[in-house]
A and B are shown apart, each in its own frame.
Chain A
Amino acid sequence: MVRLTILDVAVDVPAGWAPTSHPTPTGTLVARPDRWPGVFVPVLAVSQSVPKGSMPLAGYADRLTADTLLTLGGHLVHVGTGHRPYDHVDLTLATEAWGVDVTVTQRYVTTGAGRPAALATAVVADGDWSALAAEMVAAVRSLRPVAPAGLAR
C-alpha cells in the first residue's frame, strides 16, 4: 500500500512497481513497473480532483465522462457509479495517446463533504491490457481515504 499523505488517500500499488510522488500543489503519485518489455510502460497515477461540493454523484459521473472524453477522446467502455465502500465513479475508455492505443481506467472517490476528492488512473497499452486488466482495475479501485496520521479511523 502507498499512502499519499497530502490527499489522505491510499492505493494498492502492484508488486514490483516503483511509486514516486511529485511535489505539485495538489500532490500526485505516479507508479510504474521498474522494467517493462513493451513500448509503452503502463502507469498508475493518483491525483487530487475537484471538491465534491453539493453536486450529486450522477452529476460528477457526467462531468468526469465528458471531461475525460473531451481530453482524450476515444471509445467509452464502461461507466458506473457506486456508494460502497465510498462514493465513487468508475470510468474506462479505449483511446489513443502518444501514438499508442491505450486503455484508461479510472476511479474517482469523494472523501467527504468539503474535502478534496481523488482520482486514480491507470493507463495501459491495449496490447498489454488483457494481461494487466485485473491488476489495474484492482489497483484503481483500491483508492480509498485514510485517516490523517496519528488519528484513529
Chain B
Amino acid sequence: MTVATIDPGAGRVSATRRQLLALVDWAQAAAASGTAAVDDLAEAALTEAGMVVDGAVHPALVPVVAVLGGPHGRVVVRRWRGTTVPPVVEVLAGPAGVLVLPGGPDLDAVQDLRWHPRPAALPRVVAEELDATTHEGPAPIGPGPMTWAELVAAAEDPDGDLSLADLRWSPGAGTAPASVLVVAWAAAGGLAEVTPMAGRPSLLTARGRHPIEIWTGLTQLGAAR
C-alpha cells in the first residue's frame, strides 16, 4: 500500500483517492458505531499508510475527511494547452473548507492535497487553478461557429498560444458535474467565453470577456445553494 505523505509542517499532505475514500468510509463507520475498530483490515492498512494514528484519523487529515465526507459544492477543472495535458483538478467545498485534489481521477494517482479553512474561498481557489490571463485584450478566437474538436485542436497546437479550460460544477458529490464555464485565452492577453450556439448546440460561439467578468462569474459558484 502506498504510504501517505503527511507533513503539515512542510505544508505537504498527499495520498491517493483510494486511500482517501477508504479513510472517509472508515471514519464514517467509526462515527456511526461509536467505536474505531469497525474494520480491522481497513484500519490496519490506513494505520500502515500513516493516515490513522492511535485509532483516530491523523489530525492533518481531519479537515480533509470532513470535506470529502459531505461536500456541498464540487468543481472539476479541465485544461488544454499545447501537447501536454494537465491533470484534471477537482475542488470540493464543504463546511470544513475547500479541498483541492490536483492529481486527476485515477484512484491510485497521488494527490498533493491543498486545504483552505473557509468554504467561501472556493471562487479564489478555482481561479488559482484556472490560472487564466490577467490581461485584457482582443478575443483570442473568433466568434465561430466552431466545433469542440476544432477548439481543442487550437489549444493543443504546440505553435499556438491559446489555452482552454472547462469548468464543471455540481452541488455535491452525488451529482454529475455540468459545464458552467468554458473559457479560452491567449498568453499575451485576451479572454473569450465559449457557449453553444442558439438552436445549434453542437456548434460553439465565442465572445470576448474582461478578466473581471470571468472572476465575477466564479464568485457566483454555489450562490444558489
Residues of A within 8 A of B (CB): 74-80, 92, 94-96, 99-101, 103, 105, 125-127, 129-130, 133, 137
In the complex, A103→B219 CA distance in Å?
Answer: 10
Residues of B within 8 A of A92 (CB): 211-212, 215
Q: Cβ of B120 and Cβ of A76 under 8 Å apart?
A: no
Q: Cβ of A78 and Cβ of B215 under 8 Å apart?
A: yes
Which residues in chain B, 195-223, are within 8 Å of chain A measured between CB atoms? 210-212, 215-217, 219-220, 223
Contact of B135 among A80, A94, A100, A101 (CB under 8 A): A80
Residues of B within 8 A of A95 (CB): 124
Residues of B within 8 A of A (CB): 118, 120-121, 123-124, 127-128, 134-136, 210-212, 215-217, 219-220, 223
In the complex, A130→B120 CA distance in Å?
Answer: 14
Q: Cβ of B121 and Cβ of A101 under 8 Å apart?
A: yes
Q: Cβ of B219 and Cβ of A76 under 8 Å apart?
A: no
Residues of A within 8 A of B121 (CB): 96, 101
Contact of A94 among B124, B217, B223 (CB under 8 A): B124
Give the top 8 A-B pairs by smallest Cβ distance, nearest first.
A78-B211, A94-B124, A77-B215, A101-B120, A129-B219, A133-B216, A126-B219, A130-B220
Q: Cβ of B216 and Cβ of A129 under 8 Å apart?
A: yes
Residues of B within 8 A of A125 (CB): 120
Question: 16 A-B Cβ contacts within 8 A?
Answer: A75-B127, A75-B128, A76-B134, A77-B134, A77-B215, A78-B215, A92-B212, A96-B118, A96-B121, A101-B121, A127-B120, A129-B216, A130-B216, A130-B217, A130-B223, A137-B212
How many residue pairs link A and B with beta carbons under 8 A? The number is 61
In the complex, A133→B215 CA distance in Å?
Answer: 10
In the complex, A12→B217 CA distance in Å?
Answer: 25
Residues of B within 8 A of A103 (CB): 215, 219
B13 to chain A, nearest CB (A): 21
B189 to chain A, nearest CB (A): 9
Residues of A within 8 A of B127 (CB): 75, 77, 94
A2 to chain B, nearest CB (A): 23
Residues of B within 8 A of A137 (CB): 212
In the complex, A70→B127 CA distance in Å?
Answer: 19
Residues of A within 8 A of B136 (CB): 78, 80
In the complex, A47→B223 CA distance in Å?
Answer: 33
Closest to B214 in A: A77
Residues of B within 8 A of A105 (CB): 212
Closest to A101 in B: B120
Given A78-B136, A101-B121, 12 other A-B residues pairs in contact with their CB atoms under 8 A: A77-B134, A77-B215, A78-B211, A80-B135, A92-B211, A92-B215, A94-B123, A96-B118, A99-B118, A101-B118, A126-B120, A130-B216
